[in-house]
Amino acid sequence: MTQENATAVELVLRPFEPRDRDGIIALIDGIFREYGDRACIEKCDADLGDVASHYAPGRFMVLTDSADTVLGTAAIVEDNERPGVFWLKRLYLHPSLRGTGSGERLLRWAIDTARAIGCTRMEFWSDTRFKRGHAFYAKHGFIRTDVVRTVDDGWEPYDEYFFFKEW
């Protein structure tokens, strides 16, 4: 899909449905492949194999085109140990939609939904390779801390930065 085609079609933001599973995995795997990696459903991406059991209803969204192709995802998870804290999860966008406002749409959904149910702080970890995404988050008021963790739950170890935003 070209960027012109992606912006010309009506995109629908809707809750995850089981039929979206393969499209979600393909989207995220494709993004990881941009960095010479791939999704690891067996470990770090296990939630993608069974979204319904990992996310509360209405808290995992997909952005689809008129053919119902999954072009974006976003999810939120409440931190059960810290009231008011939510984790931003699975914010991914097809390359053809980058810079079109679709990422803002997904992030706005996540923040607005979390705020409506009591969120005062949002946190997430992001792979250090996702530099464009980090600039996007900074533009939207997220702070990247100096905390970096090495994770060994994928095909190879990788590093992640910690981000947060309070309101």
The DSSP result for 71-106, as a single string, is: EEEEEEEE-TTSTTEEEEEEEEE-GGGTTTTHHHHH
Residue 90: domain span: 3-124
Q: Which two tokens stand for residue 85?
A: 């804290």
Q: What is the pLDDT of residues 128-158, one digit of tens each?
A: 999 999 999 999 999 999 999 887 766 677 8
Among 100, 162, 106, 110, CA closest to 134:
162
Q: Which two tokens stand for residue 111?
A: 């923040």
Task: In whole angstroms, give the CA distance from residue 50 to residue 48.
Answer: 5
Q: What is the pLDDT of residues 70-125, one digit of tens each?
A: 999 999 999 999 999 999 999 999 999 999 999 999 999 999 999 999 999 999 99
Strand order in 158-166's β-sheet? 12-15, 60-64, 70-78, 85-93, 121-127, 158-166, 143-151
CB contact at 8 A, 106 and 96: no
pLDDT band at 161 (very low <50, low <70, confident <90, very high): very high
> How many structural domains comprise the chain?
1
In a domain, 97, yes or no: yes
Among 57, 34, 58, 39, CA closest to 49:
39
What pTM did the predictor assign? 0.91
Identify the CATH number of the domain in which residue 84 sits.
3.40.630.30
In a domain, 31, yes or no: yes
